[in-house]
Amino acid sequence: MLSRWRDVEGALAMFSDFHRRMSQLFAEIEGVYDGVAPPISQPSGPPINLHDAGETLVMRVQVPGMVAEDIHIHGNQEMVTIRGERRDERPANFNSHRRERGSIQFSRSFTLPCRVDLERTNAMVKDGLLTVRLTKDTEAMPRQIMVKR
C-alpha cells in the first residue's frame, strides 16, 4: 500500500545539510572553499584576547601549566612578542600509561592598535592565565577637547 509523504521540507533540509557537510569535507581535503581562500587556520600557540580598557590595553593569554619563568615578553611601542615553553618533567624511572599533555613551545607577535609605554607595562601569571597590561603612550590616550563660545 502506498502512502503520501508530507514532510518534503524536512527531507529537503536534511539533504541540504548533507550536501553542505560533504562540500565542506571535500573542500578541506582540497584546500579550496568554492574558489575562495580557505579560512584562517588556528594560531600556533595559546589563545589570546586583547581589549582596550581606557588608559591601558589588556592582553590575556591562556598558559596552563606555565609559571613566570617559562614566559618571555618582548616588545616595542607598536609590537609585542610573547614566547613560552612548558617542559615535560617526569621523575626518573617513571613509566607513562597515557600522555596527552607534553612539552610545548610557542611564539606569537602582535601589532598593537596604538603606541604603548613599555616602562609602565606589567605582566603577571596566575592560575594558568597571563595578564599583560600595556599602558598607552600619553600621545595615544584620548583627550577632552573644550568647546569655546
DSSP 12: H
Phi/psi of residue 41, nearest 5 degrees: -75, 165
Distance of alpha carbon 9 from alpha carbon 19, whole angstroms: 15
Same-domain check for residues 131 and 80: yes
Domain that holds residue 127: 42-89+104-149
Residues 37 and 85 in one domain: no
DSSP conformation letters of 45-110: S--EEEEE-SSEEEEEEE-TT--GGGEEEEE-SSEEEEEEEE-----TT---S------EEEEEEE
**Residue 16 counted as domain residue:** yes
Mark whether 75 and 34 lie in a shared domain. Answer: no
The total domain count for the chain is 2
- My answer on whether 52 and 29 are in the same domain is no
Q: Would you give the DSSP letter of residue 31?
A: T
Q: Do 21 and 78 share a domain, yes or no? A: no
- Please, how many CA atoms are within 13 Å of residue 94, restricted to the half-sphere of its CB? 8
The verdict on 73 and 32 lying in the same domain is no
Give the pLDDT band of residue 61 (cuts 50, 70, 90): very high
Report which of residues 7 and 85 the model is more confident about: 85
Average pLDDT over residues 55-76: 91
User: The domain that contains 112 carries what CATH number?
Assistant: 2.60.40.790
Specify whether 54 is located in the same domain as 120: yes
pTM check: above 0.85: no
Give pLDDT tens digits for 69-124: 999 999 888 899 999 988 877 777 877 777 777 778 889 998 999 899 889 999 99
Domain annotation covers residue 81: yes
In this structure, the answer to whether residues 52 and 65 fall within a common structural domain is yes
